[in-house]
C-alpha cells in the first residue's frame, strides 16, 4: 500500500483506494484501524464510492495507514481542496466584442483559417490498453517536438490569427473547425462538474438537462457563474439571439450538470468523486472538469484519481480536466494541476487567438505524469452566464476544457465505439499539430471530426 503526502490545501480527511471489487474488505480493515464510530458505513464524513473503488474517511491519513496490512487497500491520500480554474474577465470593447491580442492586420472581415501545420495522425485502433494509449501520446509528443523547430521557421504560419471575426461563431469554434462539422452531439451525455448551472437560462430552454448537487446545503443553481460558462461552451445553443455568435460545441448534447464546487468556487475531492460516480452511473461519455489544485515540481500525481480515471474509461467514460493557470509566461511556467496531472485524465492547455500558448497555461514539467495532452481556445471565450447578465467573456484553461469536452461528444456521436480510451485516441489523433513544444500543447489544437 502506498501513502501519498501531496502538497496543497487539505481537509484532514483521507481518500482510500481499494483493489477492484474490494471495497467491503478494505473498509473492514479501515474500521478496524480507526474505529467503527469514524469509518462506519453511516458515520458522518465517511462515504464509499463502490463503482470507483474509493472511500473518503473522516480520519487523517496517518491514522488510516494503520490498515496497511490489508491487501484490499492500494493507497491512502489526504483529501484535497480544489478550485474553479478561471482568471479575470477577458477584456472587451464597448460593443461587447473581444479585444484580441495584437497581431498582423487582418485585411478582411473573413476569419483567417487555422494553418495546416502538419497532417493529423490517423487514430489508433479502438480497444487498446491504457499503456498503449500513453505510448501513443508520448510518440505524438516526441514527433511534434522534432518538427517544431522546422515549422517555427515559417513566419507566416507563426503570425496566422485564428478566427478573428465572431459575427457568426466564436473564434474558438472556428479554430477547432466545429462550425464546419455536421455533428451535433445528439444523444451523447456530457457531465460538467463545476459550480452548477443556471437552470433558467433561456438559451437552454427545451434541452435535456439532468442536474444534481454534491455540495452540502447548496442547490444546483449556479451562484458563481463558472459552471454555466463551461456548460455553454461544451453544450450551448447553436443559434443564440440576433447579434450574438454561436458559442456552443455539441448543441444537441445532453447536459448533466453536477455541482461539485460551491457558489464561492471551491470544493473537495469528496464532491468531485461523487460527481464522477454519478456521471458513470448515468452513462455519460464525457466528464468535463474545469477545476483543480496547484502542484509542485516533482510532485507525484494522485494514485486515487489515476485509478478512478482508468476505471471510468473501462466503463465508457472519458475524463478531461483543466491543466491549470499558475504560469506567468514567458518568465515562469508551472506544472499541470491536480487532477489533470494524472496520465489517464486528459489535461487541456489554453491557446490565445493567435494560436499561441496562453500566458497563464501550465506546462508538462513533471516527468512521471503531469503531461499536457491537448490544447484548445482559452482566451477571450464568449459563453453563457447566469441571468440577468446572460453572457460573459472569460479566460483560463477552464475555458479550454469544455471545448475539448464538447468536441469529444461530436466524436462519440460519429462513432458509437469511440468511448473511454478509444475516444481519447480519436481526439489526439485528430488534433492539429502545432509548431509549439508538446510540453505546452500536447498533441496540438483539438479539432472537430
Q: Is residue 101 part of a domain?
A: no
Scan for cell 503531461, then name that residue.
371
Tell me: do 322 and 193 sit in the same domain.
Answer: yes
Best CA proximity match to 137, nearest among 358, 401, 129: 129
Rounded Cα distance between 143 and 140, Å, is 5
Last residue of a domain, one of 80, 108, 130: 80
Rounded Cα distance between 111 and 167, Å, is 10
Cell reading at 83: 478550485
C-alpha distance across the termini of the chain, in Å: 42
Q: Is residue 47 part of a domain?
A: yes
Tell me: do 57 and 170 sit in the same domain.
Answer: no
Tell me: do 222 and 366 sit in the same domain.
Answer: yes
Q: How many domains does the chain have?
A: 2
DSSP for 313-369, written as a single string: HHTT-EEEEE--S--BTTTB--BPPBTTTSTTSEEEEEE-TTSPBPTT--B---SSS
Q: Is residue 24 part of a domain?
A: yes
Q: Is residue 7 part of a domain?
A: yes
Q: Is residue 363 part of a domain?
A: yes
Last residue of a domain, one of 80, 115, 136: 80
State residue 33's pLDDT score.
84
Say which residues have a Cβ less than 8 Å from residue 115's Cβ, sequence separation at least 6: 156, 157, 160, 355
Best CA proximity match to 271, nearest among 13, 8, 3: 13
pLDDT band, residue 2 (cuts 50/70/90)? very low
Q: Is residue 205 part of a domain?
A: yes
Map residue 48 onto helix, strand or coil: strand
The residues assigned a catalytic role are 194, 226, 398
Mean pLDDT value across the chain? 83
pLDDT at position 97 over 80: no
Q: Is residue 316 part of a domain?
A: yes
Tell me: do 266 and 167 sit in the same domain.
Answer: yes
- Arithmetic mean of pLDDT, 135-147: 43
Rounded Cα distance between 436 and 401, Å, is 19
| pTM for the predicted model, two decimal places | 0.83
Last residue of a domain, one of 17, 51, 80: 80
Rounded Cα distance between 444 and 407, Å, is 14
Tell me: do 161 and 54 sit in the same domain.
Answer: no
Tell me: do 76 and 225 sit in the same domain.
Answer: no
Residue-number span of the structural domain to which 399 is assigned: 152-441
pLDDT at position 249 over 80: yes
Lowest mean pLDDT among 33-47, 213-227, 243-257, 368-382: 33-47
Q: Is residue 97 part of a domain?
A: no
Check which CATH number belongs to the domain holding 352 and give it.
Answer: 3.40.50.200
pLDDT at position 406 over 80: yes
Rounded Cα distance between 400 and 30, Å, is 40
Check which CATH number belongs to the domain holding 35 and give it.
Answer: 3.30.70.80
Amino acid at each position: 500500500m502506498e501513502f501519498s503526502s501531496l502538497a496543497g490545501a487539505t481537509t484532514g480527511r483521507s481518500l482510500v483506494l481499494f483493489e477492484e471489487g474490494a471495497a467491503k474488505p478494505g473498509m473492514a480493515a479501515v474500521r478496524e484501524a480507526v474505529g467503527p464510530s469514524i469509518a462506519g458505513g453511516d458515520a458522518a464524513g465517511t462515504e464509499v464510492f463502490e463503482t470507483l473503488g474509493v472511500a473518503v474517511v473522516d480520519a487523517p491519513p496517518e491514522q488510516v495507514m494503520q490498515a496497511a496490512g490489508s491487501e484490499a487497500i492500494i493507497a491512502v491520500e489526504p483529501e484535497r481542496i480544489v478550485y474553479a480554474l478561471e482568471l479575470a474577465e477577458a477584456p472587451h470593447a464597448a460593443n461587447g466584442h473581444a479585444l484580441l491580442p495584437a497581431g498582423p492586420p487582418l485585411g478582411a472581415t473573413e476569419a483567417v483559417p487555422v494553418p495546416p501545420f502538419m497532417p493529423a495522425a490517423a487514430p489508433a485502433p479502438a480497444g487498446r490498453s491504457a499503456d498503449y494509449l500513453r505510448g501513443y501520446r508520448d510518440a505524438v509528443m516526441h514527433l511534434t517536438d522534432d518538427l517544431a523547430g522546422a515549422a517555427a521557421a515559417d513566419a507566416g504560419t507563426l503570425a496566422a490569427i485564428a478566427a478573428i471575426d465572431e459575427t457568426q461563431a466564436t473564434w474558438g469554434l472556428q479554430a477547432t473547425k466545429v462550425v464546419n462539422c455536421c455533428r451535433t452531439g445528439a444523444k451523447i451525455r456530457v457531465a460538467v462538474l463545476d459550480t452548477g448551472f443556471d437552470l433558467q437560462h433561456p438559451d437552454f430552454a427545451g434541452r435535456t438537462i439532468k442536474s444534481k448537487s454534491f455540495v452540502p446545503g447548496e442547490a444546483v443553481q449556479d451562484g458563481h457563474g463558472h459552471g454555466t460558462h463551461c456548460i455553454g461552451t461544451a453544450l450551448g445553443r447553436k443559434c443564440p439571439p440576433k447579434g450574438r455568435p454561436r458559442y456552443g460545441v455539441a448543441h444537441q448534447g445532453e447536459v448533466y450538470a453536477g455541482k461539485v464546487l460551491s457558489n464561492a468556487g471551491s470544493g473537495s475531492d469528496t464532491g468531485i468523486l461523487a460527481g464522477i460516480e454519478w456521471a458513470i452511473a448515468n452513462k455519460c461519455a464525457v466528464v468535463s472538469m474545469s477545476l483543480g489544485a496547484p502542484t509542485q515540481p516533482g510532485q507525484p500525481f494522485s494514485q486515487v484519481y489515476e485509478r478512478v480515471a482508468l476505471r471510468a474509461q473501462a466503463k465508457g467514460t472519458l475524463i478531461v480536466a483543466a491543466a491549470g493557470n499558475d504560469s506567468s509566461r514567458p518568465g515562469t511556467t508551472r506544472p499541470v494541476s491536480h487532477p489533470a496531472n494524472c496520465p489517464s485524465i486528459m489535461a487541456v492547455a489554453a491557446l490565445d487567438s493567435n494560436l499561441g500558448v496562453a500566458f497563464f497555461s501550465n506546462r508538462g514539467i513533471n516527468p512521471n505524469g503531469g503531461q499536457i495532452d491537448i490544447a484548445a481556445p482559452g482566451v477571450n471565450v464568449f459563453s453563457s452566464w447566469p441571468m440577468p447578465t446572460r453572457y460573459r467573456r472569460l479566460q483560463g484553461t477552464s475555458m479550454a476544457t469544455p471545448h475539448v469536452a464538447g468536441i469529444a461528444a461530436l466524436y462519440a456521436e460519429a462513432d458509437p465505439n469511440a468511448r473511454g480510451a478509444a475516444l481519447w485516441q480519436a481526439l489526439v489523433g485528430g488534433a492539429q499539430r502545432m509548431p509549439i513544444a508538446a510540453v505546452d500543447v500536447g498533441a496540438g489544437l483539438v479539432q472537430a471530426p
